[in-house]
Chains A and B, each alone.
Chain A
């Protein structure tokens, strides 16, 4: 459940960032497309990083063994 919720949060954050970019720096259609590409690429990269780390910990094969005596 935590994964899905966070994915949706990322999606919403991406949409929000795109809209705010369009609103605040509206400089013509081609520049807007460029800015949108940047924002969406960033959101996708960040989500991928989060998802990989989360999925790797969902069903781990080893567990932490504390060091020391």
Chain B
């Protein structure tokens, strides 16, 4: 064991050593200091003002200012997006401006933009109204022209209406007068023309009819093309109408009804000449307005462009400032109100960097007093910080998804980097599919730089983040595929001749008694003769099941050994003696023995039934083994192992709680006397935890905890070993799917003579392989390998109840916000 002490500590095996530090910053250099600390990104501030609401904190005004500025920036970016202006991000040609200047500038720009927007809105409305007027002119002109031709029939209609509805005498007299007076084109009948939404036209007409008691003539013509409504700004279907009536009262009624229906009325002169005149005037005004509108839009777009080129810089600046003030809000003013006091966690290796940082801040802020930075003691458990690079980051995140490691606990990611892709490959083994995966992930890795700066869809982002995981998965899949001898389920004779041949030259009994083994086993991997034979499945199933058991026992042993190293690191001899040793004994005397039996059976070629052996080891240990005997002394060994396992269970259950109780009593025995002796107590001399835990040792709780832990281990030993059989199950499923696609799709299609059938078969085979085998099976095997790691491997040693180190860092801020 001494050799392990002489080795250097392994990178990534345990989280970085952290220390709790206190900073005392004079008020004038506080902002600069926190900004530099944010750039360094290695200090996690502890929130000393947790119980205060956001409005009670010190720098609440600055935070509000920053929030207001970021609102203005968001407004600008909205406007830019709406206008569709594309601005290039110019490099920082302008000098850095400070926050007050930026605030003023932002205010100016916003005011300008809002003004421009209102102006252009008004102009646009006028423009739309004029367009409508033009439309009304043209359509109403048409209606009036045609109505003059029907003047006679209109006359008759009006007469009938008068007689039917009993209109006022005065009115009817006037109407009659008007009728008889007028020649076509110059009747005393007045009219109102306008435009209304098509959907409302019918109701409008009916309302008018009722209100004027039928004394009106309603002509309408659809506008033909969708018109932009001046008020709502949308394109709607409208109808031009002309209401002919007579009398003042009718006019007011009609106008009121037009108002209520939202119809816009435009004055249209009766005479054709005047109509044309006004038409020309309106067209001229429209073209003028168009020019003005265009100019306005250009002006606005230019302003937006100049804003847009700076927008990114400004946004980042404002975000940084807000973050700095949020961090400053976590600090406290001390009694003199001249310094800010802050506390936080930082890794020990970063202490000198932080000191440098703070010195620079003192210098740049021209402060007289330096910043005090010193370590403090605390009982809180430190955060967990792993320094990962782009390769190990994905694996660490996979482990963290289950639970962040406790401070300085053994990190399963170290072994998962290899075992996770390896177990994936055991379930995926096909070197053809592995090559496809490899090509796919190489594309991602080679375009790493370009893809990392782009914004990707969520699926692509997952795939891109895990590109190194998939790379290892692909490489191991190729290896396992070579071992299983499957290339899209086709075996090859790459490594030499098959070990099996026909009994005689004529191969007459190849389909009944089968081939015989004439040589040494196939040098690397599964013999290609098995593929397609009738006894393929019994052979492969037996092979893969036993392989799963052996791999499972190996990985679980690794987990228990890691718990030994953990206990050793923390100096916990109790755990080693009363947890590690009985766990090893229990697991290996049962399942390690099973693995040994498997290996022996393979090496000796015995016909022993291992199920029988294992079951009767429990049911009838003293019974005779008979033909299931694999080696001499097996019965005695089995009895011994059974006894060891039975002893191991109380060994891991009982001693630990009692010893813990005794240790606790010894440790705190003196303290009870001390409490009676002293009346004054210095709160700093005795850490809180000791006082808190003084009476806190609850024996029954500890005992129950230990019992649960032991039962979990004992029962888990059986269930976890069986759980590893999923390695067999998934690998069988993959192989069978692959075989089905190959035989029933490709071979079937290839059997036909027609080229089209062959092509179609090839395409369907390619799609089926890509979607079902490459995507679905990958996800499935990924998931199961993940489960095997999270549950069966990590529950042997991992606690996973830590919290992650989240330093105050501008780089992390950018990731968060996006």
Contacts and interface: CB of A to CB of B under 8 A. Distances in A.
Contacts of B521: 2, 54, 57-58
Contacts of A6: 523-524
B603 A56 contact: no
Interface string A38-69: 10011001101110111111111111111111
B532 interface: yes
Contacts of B128: none
Nearest to A39: B418
Contacts of A48: 550-551, 554
B388 to A, nearest CB: 11
Contact of B607 (A45, A58, A61, A69): A61
Given A31-B11, A53-B526, A57-B499, A67 B511 contact: yes
Interface stretch (B221-229, B539-547, B758-766): B539-547
10 contacts: A30-B9, A30-B10, A42-B418, A45-B419, A45-B422, A54-B524, A59-B603, A64-B500, A65-B535, A66-B532
A19 interface: no
Contacts of B480: 49
Nearest to B512: A65
B345 interface: no
A53 B511 contact: no
A33 interface: yes
B225 to A, nearest CB: 71
Nearest to B423: A45
A66 B534 contact: yes
B601 to A, nearest CB: 9
A59 to B, nearest CB: 3
B533 interface: yes
Q: A interface, how many residues as a size bin?
A: 35 or more
B522 interface: yes
A21 interface: no
B483 A49 contact: yes
Q: B interface, how many residues as a size bin?
A: 35 or more
A24 interface: no
Of listed A59, A60, A67, residue having the most chain B CB within 10 A: A60
Contacts of A1: 520
A69 to B, nearest CB: 7
Contacts of A69: 511
B533 A67 contact: yes
A56 B602 contact: yes
B12 interface: yes
B655 interface: no
Given A2-B520, A61-B605, A67-B532, A53 B483 contact: yes
B627 to A, nearest CB: 13
Contacts of A55: 599, 602-603
A37 B605 contact: no
Q: Which 9 A-B pairs have the closest CB atoms?
A: A59-B605, A65-B514, A64-B533, A57-B521, A29-B8, A34-B11, A41-B418, A55-B602, A30-B11
Contacts of A67: 511, 532-534
B600 to A, nearest CB: 10
Nearest to B533: A64
B63 to A, nearest CB: 42
A31 B527 CA distance: 40
A51 B191 CA distance: 102
Given A49-B483, A53-B547, A56-B542, 9 more contacts: A37-B414, A52-B547, A53-B525, A56-B547, A62-B538, A63-B500, A64-B535, A65-B511, A67-B534
Of listed A48, A54, A66, residue having the most chain B CB within 10 A: A66
A1 B418 CA distance: 29
Contacts of A62: 535, 538-539
Contact of B8 (A33, A38, A42, A66): A33
Interface of A: 1-2, 6, 29-31, 33-34, 37-38, 41-42, 45-46, 48-50, 52-69
Given A38-B418, A45-B418, A62-B539, A57 B526 contact: yes
Contact of A63 (B9, B515, B554): B515
A52 to B, nearest CB: 5
Contacts of B551: 48
Contacts of A66: 510-511, 514-515, 532-534
B805 to A, nearest CB: 19
Contact of A59 (B533, B547, B604): B604
B603 A58 contact: yes
A58 B527 CA distance: 11
Contacts of A58: 521, 602-603, 605
Interface SS, A side: helix
B619 interface: no
A16 B127 CA distance: 81
Contacts of B533: 64-67
B285 to A, nearest CB: 77
A62 B8 CA distance: 51
A45 to B, nearest CB: 5
A2 B495 CA distance: 12
Interface in B448-481: 479-480
Contacts of B11: 30-31, 33-34
Given A33-B8, A48-B554, A68 B511 contact: yes
B722 interface: no
A45 B417 CA distance: 12
Contacts of A57: 499, 521-522, 526-527
A3 to B, nearest CB: 8
Contacts of B644: none
A66 B10 CA distance: 53
B75 interface: no
Contacts of B536: 64
B7 interface: yes
Contacts of B603: 55, 58-59
A45 B476 CA distance: 10
Contacts of A33: 7-8, 10-11
Contact of A50 (B414, B520, B524): B524
Interface in B489-513: 499-500, 510-513
B417 A38 contact: yes
Contact of A52 (B417, B517, B529, B550): B550
Nearest to A59: B605
A6 B525 CA distance: 12
Contacts of A68: 511
A9 to B, nearest CB: 10
B27 interface: no
Contacts of A30: 8-11
Nearest to B479: A46
Contact of B546 (A34, A41, A56, A63): A56
Contacts of B312: none
Nearest to B509: A65
A3 B729 CA distance: 27
Contacts of A45: 418-419, 422
Contacts of A61: 605, 607
Nearest to B604: A59
A60 B500 CA distance: 11
A55 B8 CA distance: 37
A2 B524 CA distance: 9
B740 to A, nearest CB: 15
A15 B203 CA distance: 92
B516 interface: yes
Contacts of A37: 10, 414-415
B672 to A, nearest CB: 45
Nearest to B555: A45
Contact of B415 (A41, A50, A54, A65): A41
Interface string B377-421: 000000000000000000000000000000000000011011100
Interface string B419-431: 1001000100000
B435 to A, nearest CB: 18
